[in-house]
């Protein structure tokens, strides 16, 4: 299967504004930001979407969620708050088939989402 855009960002083939890089996870600013701060946290392992994660991925998923909190704190979002979003599939508007966790912050947000 051909590589997704996010695999090409992880490998360095495509440029991104990277905010985090470790053995199993990676994070960078979204190219089409929906808030003053909009960061994507992804696993290096190409899990297509959260609904296809497997029991073996439990530790990795926990790691990603811990990174979400760390990155949000580092980016100065913790005090005012931020939103964490995972779009899964067509109805949710998923556009890249590589699991990604959106961190959105820097402005108040409405609920329910559109
Ligand atoms: P989603 O709709 O949940 O699949 O979000 C995919 C996000 O990925 C979307 O907000 C825009 C972002 N994105 C797509 N292509 C690129 C890219 O080449 N670079 C960066 N930094 N972000 C991208």
Would you put residue 87 in left (φ > 0), alpha (ψ -120 to 50) or beta? beta
Segments forming the whole domain that contains residue 16 = 5-105
Both tokens of residue 1? Answer: 């299967």
Best mutation site among 26, 29, 95 for ligand 1, i.e. most ligand atoms within 8 A of its Cβ?
95
- CATH label of the domain that carries residue 34: 3.30.428.10
The span from the CA of 99 to the CA of 96, in Å, is 8
Look at residue 42 and tell me if it is in a domain.
yes
The span from the CA of 20 to the CA of 29, in Å, is 10
Report pLDDT digits (tens) over 15-41: 999 999 999 999 999 999 999 999 999
Look at residue 95 and tell me if it is in a domain.
yes
Look at residue 44 and tell me if it is in a domain.
yes
Nearest to 100 by CA among 89, 90, 85: 85
Name residues contacting ligand 1 (CB within 6 A). 5, 14, 16, 28-32, 40, 87, 93-96, 100
Look at residue 21 and tell me if it is in a domain.
yes
| pLDDT bracket for residue 114 (50, 70, 90) | confident
How many domains does the structure of the chain reveal? 1
102-114 mean pLDDT: 96
Measured from the CA of 34, which atom of ligand 1 is nearest? 10
Look at residue 34 and tell me if it is in a domain.
yes
């Amino acid at each position: 299967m051909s590589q997704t855009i996010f695999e090409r960002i992880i490998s360095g083939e495509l440029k991104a504004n990277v905010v985090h890089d470790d053995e199993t996870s990676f994070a960078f600013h979204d190219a089409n930001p929906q808030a003053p701060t909009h960061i994507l946290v992804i696993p290096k392992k190409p899990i297509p979407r959260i609904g296809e994660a497997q029991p073996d991925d439990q530790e990795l998923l926990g790691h990603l969620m811990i990174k979400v909190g760390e990155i949000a704190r580092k980016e100065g979002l913790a005090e005012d708050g931020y939103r964490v979003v995972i779009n899964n599939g067509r109805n949710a508007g998923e556009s890249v088939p590589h699991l990604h966790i959106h961190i959105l912050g820097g402005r108040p947000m409405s609920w329910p989402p559109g």
